[in-house]
Amino acid sequence: MTKPVRTRFAPSPTGFLHIGGARTTLFNWLFARHHGGQFILRIEDTDEVRSTEDSVQAILDSVSWLGLDWDEGPLDFGREKGPHQSYFQMKRLDIYQKHIKQLLDAGRAYRCYCTKEELDAMRRLAQLEKRPPRYDGRCRGLTEAQRKEQEAAGKTFSLRFRMPDEGTTVVPDLIRGNVTFENNLQQDLVIQKTTGGPTYNFACVVDDHLMEMSHVIRGDEHLSNTPSQIQMYKALGWEPPLFAHLSMILGPDGTKLSKRHGATSVLEYKQQGYLPAVMRNYLALLGWATTDSQQIFAGEELISKFDLAGCQKNPATFDTVKLTWMNGEYLRKTPVSELIALAKPFFDAAGLKPNGGPSLEKTVALEHEKFKLLTEIPSLVDFFYKPVEITPKAMDKVLRAPGAKDVLLGLADDLKAFDPFTDKALEERVRKFCADRSLKPGQVFHPLRVACTGRTEGPTLFLMLEVMGRETVVSRLKDAAAKLN
């Protein structure tokens, strides 16, 4: 019988959730949802020095914002859901001790008394001799008397897992195929630190087995640890889960993705005005594709179409330009009322409220086709709701042009009682104004726009004037003319 699909995302809470971690979370979530399985969130806080509660909260907030719900795991610091003792590794220490004792009793683990300085010296020597920098196994064969001598000298010890000396370990990878490792080239990994706490490499093996993970989908930086982990499964008498290692993510310049390529935290993309649905859509394309190279996915399409067969071995490129383009595509398909609700935090931050002016539904609709980020929306419609601030460029290029003041005063007089104040009627009236004075449209349209908005660019002119209303338009024409005195 095939095991039920259970996947997990198991971050170390030593910082924010970055793009690579978000992509890993998404692929695990999509795979579980596609197969009707379960997705688990586990906090691997074995780094006692660097793990923080703030980082845990940032991870929970990031995964929640992305819309990736988890079936088991922490809800916050005091509450967890699921049948297991805890989903924080530092609350599972008694479980790890039990299995460490099993490895010690079987001769598959041993005490290592090497100091940091000794390990650093081994690493330097290996580099000089152009060998892989790894532990040389010098504590493997210590006798009981030698161990007591080390401890009498005050030395603390870590525990290492003993890899086989001969043969190979094959990692059956669902993306890369079988990857073979020579056992004699693998080092004996530390499984318990001198502090008594477990290491990532050991704790994740125990937890993935006890939490019944069917698949471990993670970044390819973990591939080198996998042969040792597979040997730990065997030493404990367990069947390993199925592994899939995702390709590396590069920046547009071809180097490994880092903060110089953009935001370091997923939540920064929220603050910059990206939609969670866009982040899911774009992240899915980093190392995965459908057979027809579909780019935009609506609703539940990602879940229905995702499979590991579409994952690629070659590195993926994270491109903010493409992400922003995709965000614009989504915003244009979002109903205006929903768009306003999504942009509310940014309207609030800008202090923008209708307050007797035109409704946000009308002003936002004018610029709907231009939005690329939620953060742009307030700045593109704010002139409707606050006094006009004429940019230096608009003042010098448009309003200081010969005859501009006369145009503004003439329009104010011409429109003060004009009715109906609708876009098509306004366009006819203003074009007649141009003809009557032998002016080119640009000599009138440009000053009219600048007087009403303070800018040289903006929404469709006459529809904008209709939304703004006659009283406001006439008042702004007179104010702009007065500024030219």
CA angle 476, 481, 484 (to 5 degrees): 135
Q: List, in order, residues 6 or more apart from 153 with CB less than 8 Å away.
A: none
Cis before 4? omega within 30: no
| Beta strands 38-41; 6-9: pairing state | parallel
Residue 231: Cβ-neighbour burial (10 angstroms; 0-12, 13-18, 19+): buried
Q: In the annotation, is 259 catalytic?
A: yes
Q: What share of the chain is helix, strand, coil (3-state, %, to 5)?
A: 50, 10, 40
Which of 256, 259, 353, 424 is catalytic? The answer is: 259
CA angle 20, 13, 278 (to 5 degrees): 35
Q: List, in order, residues 6 or more apart from 22 with CB less than 8 Å away.
A: 62, 66, 266, 279, 283
Give the separation between CA 411 and CA 94, rounded to whole angstroms.
82
> How many C-beta neighbours within 10 Å does residue 431 have?
14
In degrees rounded to 5, what are phi and psi of residue 286? -85, 85
User: Can you give 19-40 as a three-state secondary structure string?
Assistant: HHHHHHHHHHHHHHHHCCCEEE
Give the separation between CA 266 and CA 19, rounded to whole angstroms.
6
Active site residues: 259
